């Protein structure tokens, strides 16, 4: 029997503790530790990513647990940026990251953006793989980060 699908929905204030923990856990897994002071935007996600300029989405499993997050922000009137992309370690490999990118890309088109950009650390192979698999092109590596863009039609 198939398991019920996860649900992607906009972040709400009640998601704050779980969304913060999810993103920090992913960072901690990658780096081996986490300095929470380096991520002040996660202390108040609603304030850091207001709906007027951002769309912060969460992915909820059938039990209501948050298993993914991602955000679209505005770089300029034609360019959106993907930030805070994260999938719980227990939920990876199920297409959740791809679904999040697709939802955020759709929102970018709705907002009139013609270009999406994102970046990740040079050695974060899972994130690099996700961005390449969802149609982004690498534009360069600088300051230890790999940068990507996708032209929207």
pLDDT tens, 96-135?
999 999 999 999 999 999 999 999 999 899 999 999 999 9
- Rounded average pLDDT over 27-47: 87
Res 2: pLDDT: 54
pLDDT cut 70: percent of the chain above it? 97
Task: Examine the pLDDT at 4 and tell me if it is beyond 80.
Answer: no
- Rounded average pLDDT over 47-69: 96
**Residue 70 near residue 102, CB atoms below 8 Å:** no
Rounded Cα–Cα distance for residues 36 and 10 (Å): 24
Laid out side by side, the sheet with 7-10 consists of 7-10, 54-60, 66-76, 79-87, 115-121, 145-151, 137-142
Res 15: pLDDT: 97
C-alpha R_g of the chain? 15
Res 95: pLDDT: 93
Res 3: pLDDT: 53
Looking at the chain, how many residues does it have?
153
- Rounded average pLDDT over 76-94: 95
- Rounded average pLDDT over 15-41: 88
Where residue 33 falls among pLDDT bands split at 50, 70, 90? Answer: confident
Question: What is 7-113's CATH number, 1.20.120.550, 3.80.30.20, 3.20.20.10, 3.40.630.30?
Answer: 3.40.630.30
Res 1: pLDDT: 44
* pTM recorded for the entire structure: 0.92
């Amino acid at each position: 029997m198939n398991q019920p699908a996860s649900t992607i929905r906009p972040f709400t204030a009640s998601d704050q503790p779980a969304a913060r923990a999810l993103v920090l856990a992913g960072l901690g897994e990658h780096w081996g530790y986490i300095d929470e002071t380096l991520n002040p935007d996660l202390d108040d996600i609603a304030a850091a990513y207001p709906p007027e300029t951002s769309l912060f989405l969460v992915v909820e499993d059938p039990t209501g647990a948050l298993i993914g997050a991602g955000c679209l922000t505005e770089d300029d009137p034609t360019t959106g940026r993907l930030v805070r992309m994260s999938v719980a370690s227990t939920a990876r490999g199920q297409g959740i990251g791809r679904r999040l990118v697709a939802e955020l890309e759709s929102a970018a088109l709705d907002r009139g953006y013609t270009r999406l950009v994102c970046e990740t650390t040079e050695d974060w192979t899972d994130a690099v793989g996700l961005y390449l698999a969802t149609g982004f092109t690498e534009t360069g590596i600088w300051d230890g980060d790999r940068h990507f863009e996708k032209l929207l039609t």
